[in-house]
Amino acid sequence: MTLRRQGYEWLEGGFEGHFGSRLTSTIIVTLIVLNTLAIVFESMAAIHETYQNAFALFEAVSIVIFTLEYLARVWVAPEAPTYQGTLAGSARRRYVTTLPALIDLAAILPAYFAMFFAVDLRLLRLFRLLRLLKLTHHFPGLALFFSVINQELRTLLSALFTILILMLLAASLMYVAEHQVQPEVFGSIPSAFWWAVVTMTTVGYGDVLPITSIGKLLATFIMLLGIGVVALPAGILAARFGEELRIRRETLSIEVAKAMKDGLINTPDMRNLIQSRHQLGLSQKQLEQLIHNHQVRTEQTHCPHCGEPIT
């Protein structure tokens, strides 16, 4: 096994890989969590002033580690199954344009900009929070979630656009019904839009209430409408999430069936299945369950002595 291959397995094996990959994931995830806590506590003036040097040292160490991790991931990119058969340089160029690589880059670039340019501390902290997205490398469920959002982006945008239109209509109706008796809160459609947003997405904050009969009737209808409309994006994501999981399990099941054509799974086959499992964002337990199911079906349809299909 080449050094680059070993590095790929250490970085991409995750918590379900060998000891080296589990150790790498533990270190990186712990560092991400500690960075998040540091950002939170650093925003408190008293703590920041007391431990300013410690925060600066921790940030410097984190940047060095995250930079080395990013460069290492670029270096081992040709080992990914996606780039098999591709020249190393081409594979690396394709990798640096992927979403995970861009997230890793965005997590470290602001710190380097801050070394040479004056950057607002609040804006810098906001960009540092992007390091939370690095968890997608180590938790396949997060990567699957972002993949589902990307696939359903057009549908979600359509649903959000519909919700926006309904909110605008609700604000306009409440403006017509209430602006004469409550000009301070329903004096314009933009002012009424705040009421429409908090009413359709929640039960309202109670700071703005209709007082006319027609206003109360409209508010009742708008609240009932909001219960179903605002839940629409969640329903789209839930349905797509379940469908995506089914498709990925079926894809891995086909890979298992191909590997078990001769009745056995050798080491190269198992390595390929593990890579496919990781690429599809499925767990090792799901892979083992699929292998077990295929073994049971093979035993039921083939002679246990000669291995020939039972007719």
The domain segmentation of the chain, as residue ranges, is 3-138, 153-230, 233-301
CA distance 273 to 260: 11
Please report the pLDDT score of residue 120 as a whole number.
Answer: 63
Burial pattern 236-246, b for ≥16 Cβ within 10 A else e, equals: bbeebbeebbe
Per-residue confidence (pLDDT) for residue 288, from 0 to 100: 82
- Domains 3-138 and 153-230 fall in the same CATH topology: no
Residue 119: both structure tokens together = 């950057």
Question: Are the beta carbons of 126 and 106 closer than 8 angstroms?
Answer: no
Question: Class assignment of domain 3-138?
Answer: mainly alpha
Can you give the pLDDT at residue 68? 94
d(CA 195, CA 256): 55
Q: What is the pLDDT of residue 92?
A: 92
Token duo for residue 42: 């650093």
Per CATH, the number for 153-230 is 1.10.287.70
* Whole-number Å distance between alpha carbons of 175 and 214: 11
Note the pLDDT of residue 74. Answer: 93
Pull the structure tokens for residue 297.
Answer: 């079906």
pLDDT tens for the chain, 311 residues long, are: 688 888 888 888 777 777 888 899 899 999 999 988 988 888 888 888 888 899 889 989 999 999 999 999 999 999 887 787 788 889 999 999 988 888 889 888 888 887 777 766 666 677 777 788 888 777 776 777 777 888 888 888 888 888 889 889 999 999 999 888 888 888 888 888 888 888 887 766 667 788 888 888 988 888 888 877 777 888 888 888 888 888 888 888 888 888 877 667 777 777 777 777 776 777 777 778 888 887 777 665 555 555 555 55
Confidence at residue 66, expressed as pLDDT on a 0 to 100 scale: 92
How many Å apart are CA 68 and CA 246, to the nearest integer?
36
Amino acid letter, residue 225: L
Please give the structure tokens belonging to residue 5. Answer: 């291959």
Which residue from 294, 298, 288, 287 is spatially nearest to 252, judged by alpha carbons? 287
